[in-house]
């Protein structure tokens, strides 16, 4: 069974959660690599080109995979990398601004995502009914394909009430089989939607999902990743949020659980959609107490120009701190915070390199942050 997951945010998390809930051997293909969730082999693209993709699918089948949950990027759909893949299930997480340097506008971006739902082998479509593009996605689905919707406002799988905490979320759900209460180890409203997407997919496939299976779920590296708490120091979270929507989601979630101040450390990638930079500046300023702007992957662009684009979106740019050296920025954020505070290091997540002027230099947010916390 091949399950395709598309959307701006949440693809890596949802594919992992689906694989964790599968009753048979399950493997994933996506941003973090391919293989078993605990032993991923890295790759260049979220969705590889057709030849390496089919080689990967064959490899996973030979390794015993009965279920493959796969991230399907808009680039892969536009470039027809997955045109011949026999998806049985397609999942839509959400749509917000990203990759407009490639697609041109949101209408083309949304239409590209909808292509996944026109796959001839499709048996089940799982759609986020809270998203404004849900109608467009649902309209693309062939009439004989079963649809399940999920969301917090409506859906076959709907979270009607939830109680967030620093160690998880208590959820009351409305499901096709009746009301259900779940204790999820995942924090944040985004992860309520991610969990609903995975649960709808699993039960839509006829898989039994126990409370114990939900309690044992874990997110991929660099997704809402909390570092081990150190007494007397701030709680540090690392997240891949690199779009205005993703940054808003994670900061809003942190505001709900943080007892103290919230500091965000982030930058924007070079040679990518410039239009999202001021939007991310606006989001950070509105939702964080302290904003430290730093370098992400500047690539061939001048880091100062990228930061200036972010500052352009802020009402009080003078209150943001600019530290281009990312390690120094992380260090400054953690040292200036105290117990009860949260530090969000956003934008790079799982990445182990930093791209600067054609060089790929070793760099990992988590190892820098862990070093500062243990000092």
Q: Domains in the chain, please, with CATH?
A: 2-215 (3.40.1190.10), 225-374 (3.90.190.20)
* pLDDT of 98: 57
Percent of the chain beyond pLDDT 70?
97
Residue 267: phi, psi to the nearest 5?
-145, -170
Q: Are strands 124-128 and 89-92 parallel, antiparallel or unpaired?
A: parallel
DSSP 8-class letter at 241: -
**Cα separation of 303 and 295, whole Å?**
6
Residue 265's contacts (CB-CB under 8 Å, 6 or more residues apart) are: 292, 294, 326, 329, 330, 333, 343, 344, 345, 346
The verdict on pTM exceeding 0.75 is yes
Residue 76's contacts (CB-CB under 8 Å, 6 or more residues apart) are: 45, 46, 47, 82
* pLDDT of 97: 55
Q: Which residues of the chain have pLDDT under 50?
A: 103
* pLDDT of 103: 46
* pLDDT of 7: 92
* pLDDT of 150: 98
DSSP 8-class letter at 8: S
């Amino acid at each position: 069974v091949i399950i395709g997951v598309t959307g701006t945010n949440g693809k890596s998390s949802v594919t992992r959660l689906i694989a964790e809930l599968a009753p048979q051997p399950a493997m994933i293909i996506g941003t973090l690599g391919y293989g078993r969730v605990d032993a991923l082999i890295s790759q260049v693209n979220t969705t590889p080109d057709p030849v390496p993709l089919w080689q990967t699918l064959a490899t996973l089948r030979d390794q015993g995979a009965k279920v493959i949950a796969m991230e399907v990027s808009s680039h892969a759909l536009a470039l027809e990398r997955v045109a011949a893949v026999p998806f049985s299930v397609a999942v839509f997480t959400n749509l917000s601004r990203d990759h407009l340097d490639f697609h041109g506008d949101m209408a083309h971006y949304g239409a590209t995502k909808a292509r996944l739902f026109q796959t001839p082998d499709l048996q089940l479509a799982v759609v986020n009914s809270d998203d404004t593009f849900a109608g467009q996605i649902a309209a693309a689905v062939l009439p004989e394909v079963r649809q399940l919707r999920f969301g917090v406002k409506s859906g076959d799988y709907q979270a009607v009430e939830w109680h967030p905490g620093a160690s998880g979320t208590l959820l009351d759900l409305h499901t096709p089989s009746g009301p259900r209460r779940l204790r999820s180890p995942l924090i944040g409203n985004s992860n309520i939607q991610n969990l609903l997407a995975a649960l709808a997919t699993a039960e839509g496939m006829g898989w039994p999902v126990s409370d114990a299976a939900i309690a044992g779920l874990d997110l991929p590296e660099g997704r809402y990743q909390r570092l081990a708490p150190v007494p007397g120091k701030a709680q540090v979270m690392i997240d891949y949020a690199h779009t205005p929507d993703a940054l808003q989601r994670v900061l809003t979630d942190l505001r709900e659980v943080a007892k103290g101040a919230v500091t965000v450390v982030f930058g924007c990638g070079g040679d990518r959609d410039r239009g999202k930079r001021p939007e991310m500046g606006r989001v950070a300023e509105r939702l964080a107490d302290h904003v430290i702007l730093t370098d992400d992957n500047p690539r061939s662009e001048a880091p100062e120009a990228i930061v200036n684009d972010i500052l352009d979106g802020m009402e009080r740019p003078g209150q943001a701190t600019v530290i281009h050296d990312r390690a120094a920025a992380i260090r400054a954020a953690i040292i200036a915070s105290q117990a009860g505070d949260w530090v969000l290091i956003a934008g790079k997540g799982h990445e182990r390199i930093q791209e600067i002027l054609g060089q790929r230099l070793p760099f990992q947010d988590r190892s820098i942050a862990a070093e500062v916390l243990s000092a």
